[in-house]
Structure 1
Amino acid sequence: MSRSAPVVPATAVVRAVVRAVPRAAALLAFVLTLSACAGCDAAKSGATGLRDPYFPKMGNGGYDVTHYGLTLDYDPDGNHLRGTAVITARATQDLDAFDLDLKGLHVKSVTVEGTKARWDRAGQELTVHPKGDLDKGETFRTTVRYSGSPGTITDPDGSEEGWLRTGDGALALGEPTGSMAWYPGNHHPSDKATYDLAVTVPEGLQAVSNGELKNESTRKGHTTFAWHTAEPMASYVTTLAIGTYRTEASTTDGGLPVYVAVDPSQAKPSRKVLAKIPEVMTWAEETFGPYPFSSTGAIVDRPDDAEYALETQNRPVFPGAPDTETLVHELAHQWYGNSVTPRTWRDMWLNEGFATYAEWLWQEEHGGETAQEIFDALYDGDYYQDRTDDEDIWSFPPGKPSGAAHISDSPVYERGAMVLHKIRQKVGDDTFRELLRGWATAHRHANADTDEFTAYVEKLAPDEDFDGIWDEWLYGEGKPAKP
């Protein structure tokens, strides 16, 4: 059955059509927009921070830095730094904005691919808005011009880093967050890059950095030092030491360049230990495998210029003359930490546990205590003069530090080394030596985490059961049962 439609006046039909046209046009435009974007991702801002378990705001998402070109001019008297950072990166997603980490300092201008870019700042975040969107996979170059008085950053554990003023200049140290005090970048260990650094200082001062010194020139009362780092480097192990140094360039028996810079006050007390660098390097290569970088050396400043030694890439920094074990520790970091770099700060024990165990091996093979004797002393509470230090080893597991303030505490170092010794006991010396070399080779110039390490160990010795070591020594709370 059907009904007849009513008769509608023609004028009413015309008015209805006229009213409907704008609505239809808007609907059509919306549908066409959806169709054009179907199956594609719109450009968006890169993440502000990489959500590191302990430093969630550090680093940035959406891109991967491949090279830093830093041109700096520093006046020690006024603590004034003028800089230009040229950052070459590859977009890992479509981008309409991205962030750089920069603490303090005044930004003068930002360009992306030579075109002026808008930018804004909030805390340590420098947000860059390129004029045109960046496509995923695109390589782009960002230039930031900046100036000001670089500052010191106090870590959660109370130690100071960043830009440390010294009696005759400055010392830049970066672990874990200090590098953002003197140049903008993606300051997380998971984003490594090569570097060129040219720094100009008043004539009579030296500027020492990572890599190899490619040029030194003086003009109108100022000297420019140009340094080049060809191998990938995490920003936290970049350094710049400005002051009056006695420098010495030499080579090891194998032809590896050695560059040492020593504050004159430390020249005599450090001469004997620094002369051991070639010997230590030969031993380390035999133990850990081929050296991953193109030069080595050391920077020795005065004891009050910093609170700690640091494994800055190619040439570690020491506050005063180091002892042999400290030299071994920081040079071992060139393999474990600088070449094989932690994926997050939770994996810090992969740096410090290996470097600490390198000290034990050195002592064992050079007339000192064996690694087993050191392990036993730590377990029995007879290692430190202060009983509190012995108890601190068991305050948290090395695989899961109890917060950002504790990533450099004793469990990460000594108990981390104890994990390695338990593995050595399990697999025997030959397989353990294979592990030391193989782990450094498998992740050379890359990043790795604890899960990758445990998987590597289990694959290396598939017939062994490591669950007890992981559960009790790596992740277990408190002191494990008597071994």
Structure 2
Amino acid sequence: MQRRVLVPGVLAASILLAIPASAASFTPGAPGIGDAYYPASGNGGYDVSHYDLRLQYQPATDLLEGTATILATTKQDLSRFNLDFGLKVSEIRVNGVKASYATSGTQELEVTPATPLPRDKAITVVVKYAGKPSEFKVDGWSAWVHTPDGAVAAQEPDSAIWWFPANDHPRDKATFDVSVNVPDGLQAISNGVLQSQSSRLGWTRYNWRSNKPQATYLATLAIGKFDITTDKTADGLPVLNAYSKDLGDNAGAARASVERTTEVADWLSGVFGPYPFNALGGYVPNVTSGFALETQTRPFYSPRQFANGANVSVVVHELAHQWYGDSVSVDNWKDIWLNEGFARYAQWLWSEKEGEGSAADLARWTYAQHPADDPFWQVAPGDPGAENQFHGAVYDRGAIALQALREQVGDPVFFQILKGWPASHAYGNAKIGEFVRYAEKVSGKPLAELFDSWLYQAGRPDLPAVKPAYGPKNAKGPKAPGSGLLKEPRSWKKIAATNTIHEH
């Protein structure tokens, strides 16, 4: 900034003095992005556009060494900014110059550049680090799983801080290049398309690219011994599925489910619109956890999801998230219904398509499992609280809300909404209120009361009777409101078997 000042003693004369902008205009970025459920998640002051991760992992010691190059743009005059990370850092450079750094809290890495960073400027941050991720704990817990032959990083609401520094919140999405060096004989699986692999001196490097914006929790890494199958979709997209070699009795059921990924994605494209990414597939590593996760382009499946046989319904759920959760991500974690209610409803639509029970049948059967005094009805899917983020009500009551919407607006408009929403918010973030307004706009109907009763109010809303859903009157079994016995849909047990889908 320049100011013209009058020099004392020199009448009617002035000289131009260059005076730097006030240091007071440069302030630290916030240590959180502003999510009420997870105050420490994410950071303020900048927006990431790309992560380039160059890693080396030795399973024998669980040692991960990495260099993360982060491309970002400042959103304020920054004197300092934070990254979310838990491993030991050896050096940080900002725009090529060494920066000072310190740690605070459980996951805050505070970076102070050599010179302050003006607003709206592109910056490059390089972080060198090393550590044993399974030894880094948050509340006694690690998202990094050290397996018998490698490791897996796949968790929600976060897993990034165990293996790369990040602005760790879905609101700051970026593209990814992930390059992983592992001992010969092992494979490294990540998101997107495998660009190349090469071997040298006993190590093999795998280079992966995910070219559409991706939330940090949706970045995944699996290292181990895998059986890998590859194919292409009718549109030419690469399909890669991976199965740990030691899945035991679950191996056949896992393959019989995950190998139907292309078929399911093709069908979902007819429901939600064109598939939004550059690759698809799934992987089943040798872990003991029981959940599955919608890691972008390549969902993670625990072997336990297939302990009772093949279950395509879990594949439907995780692939539905590619539209609802991955392409369109939550703005805050309280908006989780926009992910889970729709993924559950996709399972119901698959049942309807397969002739194993309509979505209406499943809505009423699910409704009948929970009497009016069941605590299930006290959880509000529209704002369940961090402690209930993955409660069954978010999934099931949330899916019933969509069936109620379908019956309110009719099938043509309903399916127009299901396709239009991910197209209108592709690769971005959204809030539940925005979806409600979008549904009202498309349908031309006031819908706020319907969504309020199903998503926000405690207690069991009324669900009108639909005659085809019922069996004989006066028989024993769950009853529909004002009617007779409900008949269990044939798909029910397979869908119910996925109720642990995101129990971590």
Q: TM-score range by the shorter chain?
A: 0.7 to 0.9
- TM-superposed CA distance for 1:397, in Å, is 1.0
Rounded Cα–Cα distance in structure 2 between residues aligned with 1:269 and 1:125? 42
- TM-superposed CA distance for 1:404, in Å, is 1.4
Q: 2:402 aligns with which of 420, 423, 434?
A: 420
TM-score (norm: length of structure 2): 0.84
2:216 aligned partner? 235
Letter in 2 for 1:445: Y
1:357 aligned partner? 345
TM-score (norm: length of structure 1): 0.87
**Would you say the 8 A contact 2:241–2:259 is kept in 1?**
no
**Would you say the 8 A contact 1:253–1:278 is kept in 2?**
no
Cα distance change, pair 167–391 in 1 and its aligned pair in 2 (3 A): farther
1:19 aligned partner? none
1:329 aligned partner? 317
Please state if 1:168 is matched with 2:149: yes
Cα distance change, pair 307–154 in 1 and its aligned pair in 2 (3 A): farther
- TM-superposed CA distance for 1:151, in Å, is 2.6
Cα distance change, pair 161–394 in 1 and its aligned pair in 2 (3 A): farther
**Would you say the 8 A contact 1:393–1:414 is kept in 2?**
no
1:475 aligned partner? 456
Give the secondary structure class of the aligned counterpart of 1:477.
Answer: coil
Residues 205-235 of structure 1: CA deviation (Å, up to 9, x unaligned):
1000001111111111111111011000000
1:277 aligned partner? 261
Rounded Cα–Cα distance in structure 1 between residues aligned with 2:124 and 2:195? 23
Rounded Cα–Cα distance in structure 2 between residues aligned with 1:315 and 1:396? 31
2:238 aligned partner? 257
Please state if 1:210 is matched with 2:198: no
Please state if 1:181 is matched with 2:169: no
**Would you say the 8 A contact 2:380–2:456 is kept in 1?**
yes
Give the greater-gyration-radius structure (CA): 1
Give the secondary structure class of the aligned counterpart of 1:188.
Answer: coil
**Would you say the 8 A contact 1:152–1:162 is kept in 2?**
no
Q: 1:190 aligns with which of 159, 171, 193?
A: 171
- TM-superposed CA distance for 1:400, in Å, is 1.0
1:53 aligned partner? 36
Q: 1:371 aligns with which of 359, 367, 380?
A: 359
Please state if 1:121 is matched with 2:103: yes
Give the secondary structure class of the aligned counterpart of 1:265.
Answer: coil
Please state if 1:100 is matched with 2:88: no
**Would you say the 8 A contact 2:401–2:454 is kept in 1?**
yes
Residues 334-371 of structure 1: CA deviation (Å, up to 9, x unaligned):
00000000001000110000100000000001111111
2:115 aligned partner? 132
Cα distance change, pair 392–247 in 1 and its aligned pair in 2 (3 A): farther
Q: 1:404 aligns with which of 365, 386, 389?
A: 386
**Would you say the 8 A contact 2:58–2:182 is kept in 1?**
yes
Please state if 1:312 is matched with 2:295: yes
- TM-superposed CA distance for 1:249, in Å, is 1.3
- TM-superposed CA distance for 1:36, in Å, is 7.6
Please state if 1:147 is matched with 2:130: yes
Give the secondary structure class of the aligned counterpart of 2:82.
Answer: strand
Rounded Cα–Cα distance in structure 1 between residues aligned with 2:284 and 2:138? 23
**Would you say the 8 A contact 2:292–2:302 is kept in 1?**
yes
Letter in 2 for 1:285: S
Letter in 1 for 2:179: A
Letter in 2 for 1:430: P
Rounded Cα–Cα distance in structure 2 between residues aligned with 1:363 and 1:431? 21
Please state if 1:343 is matched with 2:327: no
Letter in 1 for 2:389: I
Letter in 1 for 2:425: H
Q: Which runs of 5+ in 2 are unaligned?
A: 1-7, 9-15, 465-504
Matched ranges for 1:27-42 at <5 A: 42=25
1:90 aligned partner? 73
**Would you say the 8 A contact 1:211–1:227 is kept in 2?**
yes
Cα distance change, pair 96–287 in 1 and its aligned pair in 2 (3 A): same
Letter in 2 for 1:284: L
- TM-superposed CA distance for 1:74, in Å, is 0.6
Give the secondary structure class of the aligned counterpart of 1:223.
Answer: strand
Q: 1:268 aligns with which of 252, 255, 258?
A: 252
Rounded Cα–Cα distance in structure 2 between residues aligned with 1:36 and 1:216? 50
**Would you say the 8 A contact 1:392–1:411 is kept in 2?**
no
Give the secondary structure class of the aligned counterpart of 2:374.
Answer: helix
- TM-superposed CA distance for 1:405, in Å, is 2.0
- TM-superposed CA distance for 1:482, in Å, is 4.3
Residues 59-91 of structure 1: CA deviation (Å, up to 9, x unaligned):
000000000000111111111111111000000
**Would you say the 8 A contact 2:253–2:311 is kept in 1?**
no
**Would you say the 8 A contact 2:379–2:388 is kept in 1?**
no
- TM-superposed CA distance for 1:41, in Å, is 7.1
2:282 aligned partner? 298
Please state if 1:225 is matched with 2:206: yes
- TM-superposed CA distance for 1:392, in Å, is 4.7
Give the secondary structure class of the aligned counterpart of 1:145.
Answer: strand
Matched ranges for 1:427-446 at <5 A: 427-446=409-428
- TM-superposed CA distance for 1:153, in Å, is 7.4
Rounded Cα–Cα distance in structure 2 between residues aligned with 1:455 and 1:69? 37
- TM-superposed CA distance for 1:37, in Å, is 5.8
1:450 aligned partner? 432
Please state if 1:286 is matched with 2:270: yes
Q: 1:70 aligns with which of 53, 56, 62?
A: 53
Letter in 1 for 2:260: K
Rounded Cα–Cα distance in structure 2 between residues aligned with 1:323 and 1:420? 23
Moved more, 179-188 or 321-330: 321-330
Letter in 2 for 1:231: K
Q: Which has the higher helix share?
A: 1
**Would you say the 8 A contact 1:309–1:319 is kept in 2?**
yes
**Would you say the 8 A contact 1:161–1:172 is kept in 2?**
no
Cα distance change, pair 284–392 in 1 and its aligned pair in 2 (3 A): farther
Kindly, what percent of the aligned residue pairs are identical?
42
Cα distance change, pair 110–152 in 1 and its aligned pair in 2 (3 A): same
- TM-superposed CA distance for 1:418, in Å, is 1.2
- TM-superposed CA distance for 1:448, in Å, is 0.4
